[in-house]
């Protein structure tokens, strides 16, 4: 037997993914884990190449980071984290 231990945020994300995509629970968990792994890579300070499926079914390939040092002069936010809205902004 194998066990998967999820943080509370990952467990919530997995449930939301499962409901919104009408997927199996294991698929929601898998996607939530991949998202958390991507977020960790984005925080690494490197530019990361990744792809995601848009609402219209199109696959979007992107390069990005969450390291604000790359774009300090272009940041114009209100200081509220996107995590409050269950989203992640990347540059």
pLDDT digits (tens, 9 = 90+) for 17-73: 899 889 999 999 999 999 889 988 988 888 899 998 888 989 999 998 887 777 666
Burial annotation 64-73 (CB, 10 A radius, 16+ → b, else e): bbbeeeeeee
Q: Assign 3-class secondary structure to 56-85.
A: CCCEEEEEECCCHHHHHHHCCCCCCCHHHH
Q: What is the pLDDT of residue 19?
A: 93
Kindly tell me the burial class for residue 55, based on how many C-beta atoms sit within 10 Å of its own C-beta (0-12, 13-18, 19 or more).
Answer: exposed
**Distance of alpha carbon 45 from its chain centroid, rounded?**
16
Give CA–CA dist 14/20, Å, rounded.
10
Kindly tell me the burial class for residue 87, based on how many C-beta atoms sit within 10 Å of its own C-beta (0-12, 13-18, 19 or more).
Answer: exposed
Residue 39 near residue 52, CB atoms below 8 Å? no
């Amino acid at each position: 037997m194998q066990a998967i231990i999820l943080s509370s945020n990952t467990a919530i994300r997995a449930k939301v993914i499962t409901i919104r995509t009408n997927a199996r629970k294991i698929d929601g968990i898998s996607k939530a884990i991949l998202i958390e792994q991507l977020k960790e890579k984005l925080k690494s300070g490197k530019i990361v190449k990744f792809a995601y499926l848009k609402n219209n079914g199109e696959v979007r390939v992107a390069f990005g980071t969450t390291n604000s040092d790359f774009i300090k002069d272009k940041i114009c936010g209100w200081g509220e984290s996107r995590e409050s809205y269950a989203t992640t902004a990347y540059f």
